[in-house]
Structure 1
Amino acid sequence: MTQTALNPGVKTVSSNVPAISLRGLTKEFGETTAVDGIDLEIRQGEFFSMLGPSGSGKTTVLRLIAGFESPTRGTVELEGTDVTARAPFDRDVNTVFQDYALFPHMSLIDNVAYGLRVRGVPKRERRERAAAALDRVQLGSFLGRRPSQLSGGQRQRVALARALVVEPRVLLLDEPLGALDLKLRQQMQVELKELQRSLGITFIFVTHDQEEALTMSDRIGVFNAGRLVQVGSAKEIYDRPNGEFVANFVGTSNIFPAAVGSSLYGRPEAFSVRPERLRLAHPGDAGRHGTTAIRGTVSALVYLGHATQVRVSISDGTTVVVLVHPTALAEEDVTPGREVAVEWRTSDVVWLPPTG
């Protein structure tokens, strides 16, 4: 049994029952299909990220789960119950938005207690629960402050506390870290995942930032053009993308066209190899057992601090990116215009089926 509420005594739900089930979920706006037949089950207590570019349908799916939009077709189930026709306030979910939507004239404790007030919770109880929720996000000493007195990261924590204090079965997060600077965003990624683990409730997180998704998620759903194109763990999505879109969108990948696949392996399909799986070698030294090598010319170097991207042009015009550690780069003395071999293990090849 998995208890997803914050307080003891709240009903428990079997871990075998999905937190969210989407069946044939479709949303059309006039002639535009924003969500195209999504089938998805999100497990109890998992951190699930919806990842994709702008316009891919991920935020619309979140709004359909929340009840802010009604599907054209399909159903939304919450823990086995069809909630498709229910209003947002009649679904046991809550949403954290990118702009936080805090009341500027209210103190933090009143902001957090607002949802309890709407639900008719007595004043003493709601203040106790709001104070406990703020303490959970390390803001217990700021109860009387107003949002304008806080940093961006602190306001984000208040928004989280306000969403969690009503004890939702599922928490929906619509790019809540998008307005933060890089270092604070990275810090909040870790804190958000730790908070989710400690609470044990289901988080559904929408982002277009693949680093966020890889860092925090138990599983990731990659969206493109209104469709769910791949679902898996961060490792599965990164190591074994199921097509060219996922290979390109999640991290950096070298896509070799079908002609190269045919000439090297006798298989007329495109394939990908991640930059960190490639090795630079002298043309005469490449081609060890179990590896594949292709010759090219260094065209550019891009310094990244922890490594250097070496860009190599091969004969068919394809540019291959090799990620090289600084010490290895010094040993190779790689410079633009130099002829090199790019080598990889055959086991690191990921074949990309054609997309129709």
Structure 2
Amino acid sequence: MTAAPAIRLTGLTKTFGETRAVDALDLDIAAGEFFSMLGPSGSGKTTVLRLIAGFETPTDGTIELFGEDVTARAAFDRPVNTVFQDYALFPHMTVLENIAYGLRVRGVGRAERLDRAQAALDSVRLGSFGSRKPAQLSGGQRQRVALARATVVQPKALLLDEPLGALDLKLREQMQVELKELQRELGITFIFVTHDQEEALTLSDRIAVFNDGRIAQLGTPAEIYERPTSPFVADFVGTSNLFDGEDAAAVLGRTGAFSLRPEKIRLRADEGVAAATAEVVRSVGTVAEEIYLGTSTRVLVDLDAGYRLVVLEQNAARFAARDRRGDRVTAEWSASDVIDLAAPVGAATAPTRKG
């Protein structure tokens, strides 16, 4: 017998006046899964999280948590807890008191709740910070306290609403690693809302990419990135060269809509490089711009075919400063790296080049 999903949303719909924020959504999330909802502002991802938490009431549809219909239940009567971007810590309480607060509300005795709060604090590597006030902590430390407070009550699922958004880049990257480690240690379902595609790719077992209240694509990080199924997903998740209409015909010799990731492209000096084949696509152009990014360099190439190509080159060797603007180059890539955005998932996507 197949176990019930941790979360099942069926026909879930939410409207605000004339706005349909969530549109007849069907979604299953497995127990113990790190699941991310990714999308731009207004795509519906945060509304879905609030519906699961019980902070919003659906206009239509049902919400099941661990096999039980909780659609009509209040937020406090659901086996989930939420971590917000602003931490929402009580400034007058110590760190340990903040963490123990949820247990206190649930009637847990003082000795037990302090022991459990200390264990939760230890789990986020802040065991010696229990007597401090939130104002005495850094942003990353306050975020860890918020995580400890949310997990100490042992929810079956943890909902995270862009919890790393207020942190600087280096701290956010550090917290991503710690968040994933914490989820593995706890073994509970994490549902993570973010607009940061790199964050979603880093953390998730699966990702739902939202657009206009619907899921544009659902899959593993590798599936979402390597095999986008629409121009929206290809463009929103990472950087893509998108071809359609005249561009597709001129550069690829095909009709339809296609995507090519910039790191799949190689540049060579235009010195009589061989013509394109069925396996390798080649196109000649002129370097328009180079942008140094540290670990890589983004190169913009104006192809003779009339398309501006984005190329990403890894700076594997010591970077040698030189200006290639104006240089004639040949861009080449494997035909199999061109994604047919109209093809069914799993279908062969290698294009055949005319001529």
Superimposed CA distance per residue, residues 125-162 of structure 1 (whole angstroms, 9 cap, x where no aligned partner): 11111111111111111111110111111100110011
1:287 equivalent to 2:259? Answer: no
Superimposed CA distance per residue, residues 95-153 of structure 1 (whole angstroms, 9 cap, x where no aligned partner): 00000000000011110111111111111111111111111111111111110111111
**Amino acid in structure 2 at the alignment position of 1:293:** R
Against the structure 1 CA distance between its residues 334 and 346, is the aligned structure 2 distance closer, same or farther, given a 3 Å change threshold? farther
Deviation at 1:328, TM superposition (A): 7.9
CA contact (8 A) 1:309 1:321 kept: yes
1:134 equivalent to 2:121? Answer: yes
List alignment gaps of at least 5 residues for structure 1.
Answer: 1-13
CA contact (8 A) 1:259 1:269 kept: no
Q: 2: distance between equivalents of 1:78 and 1:201?
A: 13
Q: 1: distance between equivalents of 2:317 and 2:93?
A: 57
Q: 2: distance between equivalents of 1:330 and 1:150?
A: 39
CA contact (8 A) 1:286 1:341 kept: no
Match of 2:286 in 1: 297
**Amino acid in structure 1 at the alignment position of 2:273:** D
1:35 equivalent to 2:22? Answer: yes
Match of 2:307 in 1: 318
1:306 equivalent to 2:292? Answer: no
1:270 equivalent to 2:248? Answer: no
Match of 1:350 in 2: 339
CA contact (8 A) 2:251 2:305 kept: no
1:195 equivalent to 2:193? Answer: no
Q: 2: distance between equivalents of 1:340 and 1:228?
A: 40
Match of 1:9 in 2: none
Q: 2: distance between equivalents of 1:208 and 1:286?
A: 42
Deviation at 1:330, TM superposition (A): 7.7
Q: 2: distance between equivalents of 1:129 and 1:327?
A: 48
Matching of residues 134-213 of structure 1 within 5 Å: 134-213=121-200
Superimposed CA distance per residue, residues 156-187 of structure 1 (whole angstroms, 9 cap, x where no aligned partner): 01100110011100000000001111100000
CA contact (8 A) 2:288 2:302 kept: yes
Superimposed CA distance per residue, residues 285-341 of structure 1 (whole angstroms, 9 cap, x where no aligned partner): 14364101112211100001112111011245431111123468989x761122222
**Amino acid in structure 2 at the alignment position of 1:142:** F
**Amino acid in structure 1 at the alignment position of 2:5:** P
Alignment RMSD: 2.0
TM-score (norm 2): 0.91
1:335 equivalent to 2:324? Answer: yes
CA contact (8 A) 2:247 2:307 kept: no
Match of 2:8 in 1: 21
**Amino acid in structure 2 at the alignment position of 1:143:** G
Superimposed CA distance per residue, residues 65-112 of structure 1 (whole angstroms, 9 cap, x where no aligned partner): 000001111111101111111000000000000000000000111101
List alignment gaps of at least 5 residues for structure 2.
Answer: 344-355
SS of residue in 1 equivalent to 2:301? strand
2:242 aligned to 235, 248, 255, which one?
Answer: 255
Match of 1:88 in 2: 75
Matching of residues 6-17 of structure 1 within 5 Å: 16-17=3-4
SS of residue in 2 equivalent to 1:61? helix
Q: 2: distance between equivalents of 1:137 and 1:330?
A: 39
SS of residue in 2 equivalent to 1:176? coil
Deviation at 1:270, TM superposition (A): 1.6
CA contact (8 A) 1:314 1:320 kept: yes
SS of residue in 2 equivalent to 1:156? helix
Q: 2: distance between equivalents of 1:99 and 1:118?
A: 21
CA contact (8 A) 1:57 1:224 kept: yes
Matching of residues 102-121 of structure 1 within 5 Å: 102-121=89-108
Q: 1: distance between equivalents of 2:306 and 2:317?
A: 26
Match of 2:350 in 1: none
SS of residue in 2 equivalent to 1:28? strand
SS of residue in 2 equivalent to 1:38? strand
TM-score (norm 1): 0.91
CA contact (8 A) 1:260 1:270 kept: no
**Amino acid in structure 2 at the alignment position of 1:239:** E
**Amino acid in structure 2 at the alignment position of 1:241:** P
